[in-house]
Structure 1
């Protein structure tokens, strides 16, 4: 019997999986729909995973796929966000920042000053899933893990 392999062709999906596998990110979110077969495949790779239905301000439904090596993170995301409106308010951004492993200083800065100038090289900022703040001491320590996962 042939083994199923994910049909997702987007490198970023596998990059997120690897960052999560190596626990650089406690939880990751794929903001595109996946089918049940792909969800089962993610789980067979050793992840806890769930599809979370959300709503946009315009009333459209979106489906976020979240995965983690810890069922607690998936459960927390599920319980907090299932069937909720995507608001991007400060409270939501703080919780997401925590769950996705973003440095707290960067989350706080992003809430107040989105995409504010920082001191990272453009190539380094591009491999992150958060916007680093100018004075962050954590992000430079995370970069080697992101670079390793990107190989």
Structure 2
């Protein structure tokens, strides 16, 4: 089960167009899905298969229904594995800078030292690569939405 704080933050980032598509890695209830719809977001449940055979439900959402459908069509029923192709595809869907995605693939880990403060890095849903030129432009938008959420 996930956190409503995470859902609210992701929904805000997606509604504001900071992220083209977002995913929560747990099933959502009727009320949460109605909230996404009220925000103008389209959503679909995506069923994936864990390595132990367990079927897990993720929910993806976006302002763009075609992105939701494309993600669903690509990943529905697939095994949860992180190949370079899957990482690149998901990175593109979620709006991660491609340099950060390639750094993650090359190093095999997400905690490579970078220039962001720990507070700014903790707001993001990707790990900024060393010397990233794109992520610093995203941070103020994430920070503003986080502040709005905390204050409301």
TM-score by length of 2: 0.90
Regions of 4+ moved over 3 Å = none
1:45 equivalenced with 2:39 (yes/no): yes
1:73 equivalenced with 2:67 (yes/no): yes
Tell me what 2:115 maps to: 119
Q: Distance in 2 between matches of 1:28 and 1:9?
A: 14
Aligned-residue Cα RMSD (Å) equals 1.3
Give secondary structure in 1 for the equivalent of 2:57. strand
Q: Distance in 1 between matches of 2:81 and 2:29?
A: 25
Per-residue CA deviations over 1:8-31 (Å, capped at 9, x if unaligned) read: 862111000000010000000011
Aligned length: 144
TM-score by length of 1: 0.91
Q: Distance in 2 between matches of 1:78 and 1:123?
A: 32
Give the unaligned 5+ runs of structure 1: 1-7
Q: Distance in 2 between matches of 1:130 and 1:101?
A: 9
Flag the structure with higher helix content: 2
